[in-house]
Amino acid sequence: MIPLSHNPVSVHLGGTPCDSLHPITFHPILNKPRSSASLFWNCKRRRKRKSSITMASNLRTNNFLRHVESMKLLPSGAGHISHLNAVILGESLATEEDDFVLPSEDFASQANVQSPEQYLKMYNRSIEDPAGFWSEIASEFYWKQRWGDKVCDENFDVRKGNIKIEWFKGGITNICYNCLDRNVEAGLGDKVAIYWEGNEPGLDGTLTYTELLQQVCQLANYLKDIGVKKGDAVIIYLPMLMELPIAMLACARIGAVHSVVFAGFSAEALSQRIIDCKPKVVITCNAVKRGPKPIYLKDIVDAAINDSAQNGVSIDKCLVYENPLAMKRVDTKWKEGRDIWWQDVIPQYPTTCPLEWVDAEDPLFLLYTSGSTGKPKGVLHTTGGYMVYTATTFKYAFDYKPSDIYWCTADCGWITGHSYVTYGPMLNGASVIVYEGAPNYPDAGRCWDIVDKYKVTIFYTAPTLVRSLMRDGDAFVTRYSRKSLRVLGSVGEPINPSAWRWFYNVVGDSRCPISDTWWQTETGGFMITPLPGAWPQKPGSATFPFFGVQPVILDEKGVEIEGECNGYLCVKKSWPGAFRTLYGDHERYETTYFKPFAGYYFSGDGCSRDKDGYHWLIGRVDDVINVSGHRIGTAEVESALVSHPQCAEAAVVGVEHEVKGQGIYAFVTVVDGVPYSEELRKDLVLIVRKQIGAFAAPDKIHWAPGLPKTRSGKIMRRILRKIASRQLDELGDTSTLADPNVVNQLIELADS
């Protein structure tokens, strides 16, 4: 302990004199004697109170958190800190005035990263010596052959030639081996790899690492038997059954490239992906129940296969898992010769399968994501760098321990399910929950019922779910224990501070730090994220960059902005988990991500950095809407709408939504002579559901006699966003429009 007299710090606790408290000790995650690290405090109080901590101006430090003056070692600078409102982990975050949640002494002392000083040391090395830093981590995994002299080879600047990112090239490995065989060989064969929870309460199952490996090998042998080879694509259209991660790992085992398509996409959306990647086989399920509602997946697949055949891409094999609780086998439509029941063939195959050893830069998976144009983008991730990065981010951002029971509520049809349901956790030998059903079925307490049932310690979900459960009331949460929870996580979109506070106070009983992560399909893993034991958290802020990540905020001219600011979030220099290209369209890859700001990866997101250096994500700055954490291109929705014969034109914008974060607001111009009607409105919503999926359906159809356009024909979406948000006093100058009267017409029809 450093004596109080040695440090110019005064502490005020709601008017309570300091001599009524226990002696002040410096917080252990920062205070190491004779260290030059920055300091913050843990007041050992007789009763819990909010603390207000004032720092003297002559306290100098090397760190970059709010409670220090100098932040020059942070990738972005910040200024003088004079006042701090904070609570310590374990105390309720009661008011909007509380800026910080400080790690408790107990949590920090056991964390994988225990202090800002430790983080800074690791972070600085990851930036100054990325080859050495990532080589040490990569060496913890199995490589049949080590990579060459260059750990990383990159060109991030379109002015210097084609964009290229390579990590560990020449290294030979297999991610399935590192997820399964390596864990079994390390003595974890009897550890549960997957706890499966069915849609209906009481329906469950488990697979140990040994059992999972055996089932993966059986499917891998079947795929090889039907001619699937290294580099071939496999489409997986499955719900959250254990067979979904099994299928992913089986593809990885034989070097096939899996493309998981979210089982909420329509037949037309699935067909688009089949046509683009030309898979050797489609793996699906006859049906699934989502809550009380059955979804007939095989019918959707049949329609997609028929459509793709008309476009020159035929599917010879469709492997179908029978899900008898959702649909009986005899009721499933069938095409002999093409369709095969999983249960009839897979158990016949051997439970061992030789590995296909692949180069670190060989493709691992394709995942299609929406962009600002109508055609989905096939994001291509390779093996070695992705493996190292997802495993490392999982370990540190969630402060993972081998005893943890981990539940990520995401579907494997999205990147979160790839990186943080399957690969990241299993590379760490974790026990994972896979849940088939809806999070509010049969009622809004289902999540916490599952948490108590399996003693979940790490719970990772989307702000949309948090807001939905928050709206349902505290009683659905508090009737369950939740005492097992240790770390909470947020993913997919910025979480608003009020939802953050509810998540922290109610769900976590003020005991659990929240890893509020920012990352993307394209990044492969976390980019900006709290490390739970390392520094204080601010409700709603993703805080600071992960190791090896150099985020910058640029202005419209592409100039880096320092200190407190708003702008475009970009990244300079590559990281191991970065995607390598867009499948079959490297030009679009460069145009979308690297040409907007030469020398940087352009995320498409806006970001602000506060005076303390904390990052706050603002949302998309391009024509992409983030609905419940799912990116939906406005052009895709517009294209679906105008395919209706009575729709002449459509313009789609995002609007704030209480639960989903953003909702889809569509302005629709009908053909001459067609009346506005509720029936037409429903037809337009249905056509979007049919072509894309239910999650992309517009929340609002706004009839539009015309759209606000410039004289050159450009739609002024800025004006549409203001009308949709009812910010009518912020429309700005409309006199330059080709027909300014259109704006008044749209306002008059706003509530029709």
Contact 26, 1 (CB under 8 A): yes
Q: Side-chain half-sphere of 46: how many Cα atoms within 13 Å?
A: 7
Distance CA 531, CA 615 (A): 14
Distance CA 430, CA 195 (A): 11
Nearest to 619 by CA among 635, 603, 595: 603
Q: Side-chain half-sphere of 116: how many Cα atoms within 13 Å?
A: 27
Token duo for residue 83: 């006042």
In DSSP notation, 228-276 reads --TT-EEEEE--SSTHHHHHHHHHHHHT-EEEE--TTB-HHHHHHHHHH
Distance CA 43, CA 60 (A): 21
Of the residues 509, 622, 699, 739, only one is catalytic, namely 622
Token duo for residue 628: 């419940």
**H helices present in 706-748, as ranges:** 717-724, 741-748
Beta strands in 454-585 (DSSP E): 458-461, 487-490, 514-516, 551-554, 565-571, 581-582
Known catalytic residue: 699?
Answer: no
Determine the residue type at 575: W
Segment (H or E) for 121:
helix 116-128
Contact 118, 105 (CB under 8 A): no
* Phi–psi pair at 312, nearest 5 degrees: 90, 5
Place of tokens 């190491």: 32
Contact 469, 440 (CB under 8 A): yes
Q: Quick check: helix, strand or coil at residue 34? A: coil
Distance CA 148, CA 384 (A): 13
Token duo for residue 623: 């024509």
CB atoms within 10 A of CB 439: 17
Nearest to 63 by CA among 534, 518, 517, 567: 534
- CA–centroid distance for 497 within its chain: 18
Token duo for residue 219: 């499917």
Give the strand pairing for 318-321 and 281-285.
parallel
Q: Which 8-state DSSP code applies to residue 187?
A: I
Distance CA 73, CA 120 (A): 8
How many helices and strands, by DSSP H and E, does the chain display? 22, 36
Determine the residue type at 658: E
564-to-68, 71, 571, 610 alpha-carbon distances in Å:
15, 12, 18, 5
Nearest to 547 by CA among 421, 443, 394: 394
Give the strand pairing for 25-26 and 9-12.
unpaired
The contacts of residue 600 (CB under 8 Å, 6+ apart) are 156, 552, 554, 558, 570, 571, 572, 594
Distance CA 68, CA 79 (A): 9
Cis peptide leading into residue 442 (ω within 30°): yes
Contact 517, 490 (CB under 8 A): yes
Place of tokens 């056991």: 110
In DSSP notation, 317-328 reads -EEEE--TTT--
Catalytic residues: 622
